Amino acid sequence: MRITMIGSGYVGLVSGACLADFGHQVVCVDKDERKIAELSRGAIPIFEPGLEALVAQTMREGRLSFTTDMAPAVAEADVVFIAVGTPSRRGDGHADLSYVQQAAREIATAVRGFTVVVTKSTVPVGTCDEIERIIRETNPAADVAVVSNPEFLREGAAIDDFRRPDRIVVGLSDERAREVMTEVYRPLYLNQAPMVFTSRRTSELIKYAGNAFLAMKITFINEIADLCEKVGANVQEVARGIGLDNRIGSKFLHAGPGYGGSCFPKDTLALVKTAQDNASPMRLVETTVAVNEVRKRAMARKVMAACGGDVRDRKIAVLGLTFKPNTDDMREAPSLAIIQALQDAGARIAAYDPEGMEQAKLVTEGVEFGADAYGVAEGADALVIVTEWNAFRAMDFRRLKTLMRTPLLVDLRNIYRKDEVRQHGFAYVSVGRPAEDYLSPVRVGLKTAGQQ
Ligand SMILES: NC(=O)c1ccc[n+]([C@@H]2O[C@H](COP(=O)([O-])OP(=O)(O)OC[C@H]3O[C@@H](n4cnc5c(N)ncnc54)[C@H](O)[C@@H]3O)[C@@H](O)[C@H]2O)c1
């Protein structure tokens, strides 16, 4: 099939390369000329494991190309995917659909013959109807079937997710699109990936409901972690204890500094707005948003408390800046709020991230960036793990101790065990795990003998 992908960001580029790998003829379009120039000479503007090799291979085999010129790419396509951004609209939290609407107008004037137009971008319920309206208004002669096909890939594991999805969701109203979409995903379908055909509105809501549920699960375990700290329980063991129940499942039960990234924050907010607009408020999701928002600065307070309550003129070394490992994406990364709060309290910040520093430099101020964990630890009063990159999982604590002014590790991802860190003379603070080895009856508020 001839496929045109509009938007060549994290989703468009990965989807385009994977579809080309399936054997389709794919053109990726973007209006960012620099991005297209880079991609055309084989340079990948984002960090995503395996992507560079896949793009190089599919380009070499002549099935993947890049352009800024949308019209000819759309005219020749059987299927046009819209994979442009849908960020939060400034001021009210609704999804900003201006890029999607602009793409729809441009598609309308360029289509030739029957074309399936697919929204891969995450869009609120009713957006496919709106895209169809725009196309019919702009070009009444256009013969299009508008389809919803939300994307579920995760940055950092995007290629694998695209090739081995848990499910493919397709929302349609024009039956002609069913056969076309089955053909697009034939290799996955043959691999037994379930294809869920449904209405467009249901499909659009599936994406938001999925992300909101995952965000809620993370937020739930984060609140359990806070309670664990108060009562002397261990959140990792609670997570394992509940996660072994198949009805709950063990994924997304890792306590940490709160969710971030390009999807959960904006998608939970957009769902809240859709629900409010339809007089069907979603209190659970509203609370998830609010709890997660305050958590990031609370993590900065945790660092301050570990430093004795005052970080003015202290040097804090931050390890990991991206919202999760194996990506360079800094959108809504918890590190940003944590760094800001520490700076507000007068701390000097030195930071290191294996892939995210270029992006981080664009969105932070006054941060000194180092070449590795040891570089930033020099003279530091605390080392704070914010993102759990593998590079931070086996650090040389003997060396760190000689470099740091105060040997203190604040592990916001629980990647170490207290005893392995403490044996090197470090003070160690983590999330939702008891500070002591035993349950102090006083600390958990139980009455002890003699206190009857
Ligand atoms: N990033 C993820 O992990 C992920 C996962 C699932 C779904 N999504 C959804 O996919 C969509 C895209 O996300 P992303 O992270 O790839 O965004 P992105 O910002 O990385 O990429 C969007 C690209 O679209 C281009 N663009 C915008 N308007 C255009 C137009 N009219 N013509 C051509 N190009 C245009 C931009 O220049 C940019 O390169 C969003 O709706 C997002 O919610 C993202």
Which residues have any ligand 1 atom within 6 Å of their CB? 6-12, 29-32, 35, 83-86, 99, 102-103, 121-122, 151, 153, 155, 262-263
Please give the helix or strand (H or E) that residue 319 lies within, else none: strand 315-319
pTM: 0.94
From ligand 1's centre to the CA of 8, what distance in Å? 7
> Which of 7, 1, 28, 6 is closest to 17 using CA atoms?
28
Question: Which of 10, 47, 86, 128 should be mutated for ligand 1, with most atoms under 8 A from CB?
Answer: 10
Catalytic residue selected from 18, 28, 263, 307: 263
Core vs surface per residue 397-427: b (16+ CB within 10 A) or e? beebeebbebbbbbbbbbbbebeebeebebe
- ∠ Cα 312 313 318 (to 5°): 90
CA-nearest residue, atom 28 of ligand 1: 99
Which ligand 1 atom is at minimum distance from the Cα of 7? 24
CA distance 52 to 33: 19
Residue 444 has pLDDT above 80, yes or no: no
Cα 289 off chain centre by: 15
307 is catalytic: no
> Which of 288, 299, 295 is closest to 265 using CA atoms?
288
From ligand 1's centre to the CA of 329, what distance in Å? 12
186-230 pLDDT, tens digit per residue, is 999 888 899 999 999 999 999 999 999 999 999 999 999 999 999
> Which of 157, 333, 186 is closest to 256 using CA atoms?
333
* Better-scored residue on pLDDT, 448 or 7: 7
From ligand 1's centre to the CA of 28, what distance in Å? 12
Question: How do the residues of the chain divide into helix, strand and coil, expressed in percent and rounded to 5?
Answer: 45, 15, 40
CB atoms within 10 A of CB 13: 27
From ligand 1's centre to the CA of 145, what distance in Å? 21
The 3 state secondary structure assigned to 157-203 is: CHHHHHHCCCCEEEECCCCHHHHHHHHHCHHHHHCCCCEEEECHHHH
299-319 pLDDT, tens digit per residue, is 999 999 999 999 999 999 999
Question: Which of 30, 127, 208, 326 should be mutated for ligand 1, with most atoms under 8 A from CB?
Answer: 30
- Work out the percent of the chain whose per-residue pLDDT is above 90: 94
Which ligand 1 atom is at minimum distance from the Cα of 120? 10
Question: Which of 35, 119, 262 should be mutated for ligand 1, with most atoms under 8 A from CB?
Answer: 262
Which ligand 1 atom is at minimum distance from the Cα of 106? 31
* Better-scored residue on pLDDT, 93 or 361: 361
38-73 pLDDT, tens digit per residue, is 999 999 999 999 999 999 999 999 999 999 999 999
pLDDT of res. 436: 61
191 burial (CB, 10 Å; 0-12 / 13-18 / 19+) is exposed
Per-residue tokens: 38: 């880079």
Contacts of residue 97, Cβ cutoff 8 Å, sequence gap at least 6: 86, 123, 124, 127, 130
From ligand 1's centre to the CA of 83, what distance in Å? 5
